[in-house]
Structure 1
Amino acid sequence: MSDSAGDTQFQDESTMSDELQKLKDLIESADNERSRLLLEKAESEKEKRRAEAELERWMKDEEIQEEQFRRDLEELQVEMKNLESVNRTLKKELDDLKDKLQLKEDEIDSLQQKFKIQAELPVQTVKFSGSRGVCEREDELRCVFTVTQRPSLLLRGGQALITFEEDKVAEQILRLAKCSVACDKAKMEVKPCAVTLEPTVKYEVHITVSKKTVRFQFQKAPPPFPAERIRDRLELSFCKANRGGGEVEELHYNEEGGAGTVTFSSSAVAERLVLRGRYTVDVCGEADVEILPVYEYQLRKFQVCVCVCVFSLSVSEMCVYTYLSACVCICR
């Protein structure tokens, strides 16, 4: 009986010891879990502080970028206003220059009309003696023109022009203080006066025209490529016979003006292109160029003559004048 009770007590103590050990293990496991959680919490706090610091840095950078953007925007707005002001000033200057150019062109037209020259070439008899063999012509064509201006007088309102057959008639009229002229059953009193002709000129124009070299100019803005590349493409384009070109000896190109000169081996090619007036080239796309002849001219033997007509008179109603040997001028 006592042995049975002792065994039971021993079993109870063993069971309690096992339970105690389990509890200790649970407590130790709980402590380990608590330590791990504390470490994770510390790492999380550290990561949180690092993230907050990075966020604060990004916010400061954003503020700096916004401030820089605002300053750049203000500078661009100020620069845009300045450019608009400069643009308005340039437009005004351009309009003024256009007005001045128009005035100069009008003045040139007026002077050209005033000094318009009518030259008569003398008739020459040509005798055909025979044909010559075809030979290579020179590279330049030279010619000389002699220009002679005839004396002239611009008639104003109430004036007319009359010519007498004899000088003495005009001389007699000029000696009179007054004379009467019948006009439509009415008589007008006339008074002689002297008239001076405008100066006349005579000069020679020497012109030298190249037979093989022509000048070209882009009709629109030239392509924005290097000058060497454009020169090569132009040379290839001018060599194409199907477009009217030919063999090229030399080509010069000015990048600033978009123009240049090209020399062909055959003068027939240059003559054909000059008569056509334009040519299509392939410079990263087709473009038209204007073809012009290459020539030089000189003004030589310039002479100015002043002619005075002594046979002129002035009247109350009309003016009669001529630049021939016998003439009178009747002024109103």
Structure 2
Amino acid sequence: MDLSSSLLPLEDNGFERLENAEKVKADLQVCKLSADKEYVKLQDELTSLKELEENLHKESIKSKDIHEKELCVLNQENSKLKKEIEKLKEDLAECNSELSWDGKIEKKVADMKVEFTHMEDAKDDFSDINTRCVFSVTSKIPFKLNQNQALLTFEDAEVAQRLIKTGKHTLNLDRKTTDVKAMPFALGMGIKFELHVTISGKKIDVSEVPELSIPDDWVRDKLELNFYKSEHGGGEVENVKYDKKSRTAVITFLKPGAANGFVRSTKCPFFVNGRHYRLHVSPSTNVHMEKLQLYSGISKNSILLKGIAETEDDEESVQDMIEIHFQKPSNGGGETERIKYVSKGATWVCFEEDA
């Protein structure tokens, strides 16, 4: 029996398995080398990222320090500028005070006192056409109060006259005594007149008319139609005067008293070309002045104090001390209505006709 022929396949099979194993081993070694290279590469990238992170952190700290230093410098400069501004304000106030002391003060426009007096009777048979009101207008007379002067107004004129008659008064200001002189003073010129206001019962003034790209006649027609409607408080329109330049109009109704419905209304809807607008509406008025008079006089309830010594106290404190002194009956005083004291510069106070 020949055994050599049966051993050959086994030998070939062993070599083949060995070759496959060697091949797998070689492939694994190649993969390992590739993985090692990739690992080294990733390690290098990680190291670079860590270095970059450290550099960014250092730059951030450095930048923060720089910003904090710059902010500190800016705060110091801001504080310095605020001090300079305050100093400039003080210098400006001082300059204004000097200008006032030099008499370079612009006189204020006097306030006006307006009082309703009565309704005028209608001069025709249509009492509901127009409403006529009369107002009394009186200007308040300005009086210039100079530095180290005070003005006191008392409830009782006898107190003021008694203090003026005494003349010299000794005040205790800031633990110091000072002699002042109480004296009357003449007021300037004032005016008074009657203001007659007639509110039309047939006309209203319309403003804020929208700018429309249509002829003026069409605008008049649309205004007439708008105010003809009774739900808007109007009625049949007699005439429409429209001014495109000023965007205003005057509506005259046919029926007397039709305009009275707009006395309390300031806005009226206006529909045109599919759009909605709001017109400003007010009663048409006529104003004229009558009985203009000039007047002047002396305030019987007030006294002017001159020669008040300067003190270290503020103006309000000195004013309080003056008022307390002249409120005491033992000093010949009485109840005061008002007081004004000026320590620096000058100011204006106003009096009414019956002051």
Normalised by the length of structure 1, the TM-score is 0.50
Output the TM-score relative to the length of structure 2: 0.47
Q: State the structure with more CA Rg.
A: 1
Please identify which structure carries the higher strand content. 2
Q: Which has the higher contact order (CA 8 A, sep 6+)?
A: 2
